[in-house]
Amino acid sequence: GESSGDGGHSRWQNRSEGIMAQKRNLSDRRHVRAFILEKLRDLEREFGFKVVYAAERSSHVWGTAHQESDHDVKFLYVYPMRSYCKVEQDPMKMKRVYGPRGTQRVQNGKEDMDVEIAGFDLKQAGSMICRADPTMYEILASPIVYKASPLARQFLPFFCLSRLAQHFFNYGNSHLKMLSREKLKPKIQRKELKMYGYTLRAFLSCLWVVRKANIYGSLVESSGNFPILPLEIKKIAKTLSEQDEARVLELVGLIQGKGTEKTLKGFADRKDVQSTFRDTFRDLSQRLQMQGTKDKMAISSSPLSLPSRFSSSLK
């Protein structure tokens, strides 16, 4: 009876701690949102534009955030009409960094939150949409929205699928080439694990878009019925085989800091992981060519593998 009572107390304590953690997370999110909205209002007053949309584009969206992750916020803004008639144009994009990486870390006796805010004029955003820019797609498709606009999701159907897939592919390919070098640059070494996460996310996003393109064809033709790309890596991975999904989830866990130097090196040394990256790369190369992508693509014919350098990211 005594052991049963101890077990009941333990379960109650764990549940209580879980509830308290949820409340802290909710409180933190509210503080972050309030801080971001305050800074956006400051920017509106400083530059004279109106913020029409703002959303998160960072590890908090991709599902790889850890305790030290910052917030990367993107927003769209529009000037008064007279500003577009001037000979000298107002800035089409801008960026401010707050917190530990910012220039003014302390204001009014308190330190700013670790937040980076970057904005695009609506005209600039339109140009990026026409180029099927993946950054703009992810801004408009983000599930974490700080300032909503009905225009955001209406822009998504105008993205060209083949070009969007190509951008994701080339992004992943360029990162994998950097990671495959015998000697990494110090900047790459410091964030090597995250770089593998970027590479994986780009390839998975490309694969998702290509598969949907086979079904839906042109985004414009399918109107608003086209499903939106899930930005969280775990959600995209659900389209993979169980074995590949397990590898993806393992990598996500390591990026979040749920691993030791030994597990990181062991993950990189495994041949099945190397095979997954190599096979995914080749599969995407073939699929994109079959899609009839007209734009020139930088496809390397050299074999790809994961070097055993994961441990360097912990130093």
- Do 22 and 115 fall within a single domain? yes
- Do 66 and 179 fall within a single domain? no
Q: Which of 113, 128, 158 finishes a domain?
A: 158
34-43, 46-55, 202-211: segment of lowest average pLDDT: 202-211
Measured CA to CA, the distance from residue 217 to residue 59 in angstroms comes to: 30
- Do 138 and 265 fall within a single domain? no
- Do 134 and 205 fall within a single domain? no
- Do 165 and 147 fall within a single domain? no
- Do 141 and 188 fall within a single domain? no
Q: 56 in helix, strand or coil?
A: strand
- Do 153 and 200 fall within a single domain? no
Domain coverage including residue 16 = 2-158
- Do 150 and 176 fall within a single domain? no
137-146, 161-170, 221-230: segment of lowest average pLDDT: 221-230
Q: Which of 95, 129, 158 finishes a domain?
A: 158
How many domains does the chain contain in total? 2
Residue-wise pLDDT tens digits, 180-204: 777 777 877 777 777 878 888 888 8
Question: Model pTM greater than 0.85?
Answer: no
- Do 165 and 274 fall within a single domain? yes
Q: Which of 105, 127, 158 finishes a domain?
A: 158
Q: 142 in helix, strand or coil?
A: coil
The pLDDT > 70 percentage for the chain reads: 66
11-41 burial by CB neighbour count: b if 16+ within 10 A, else e? eeeeeeeeeeeeeeeeeeeeebeebbeebbe
- Do 9 and 94 fall within a single domain? yes
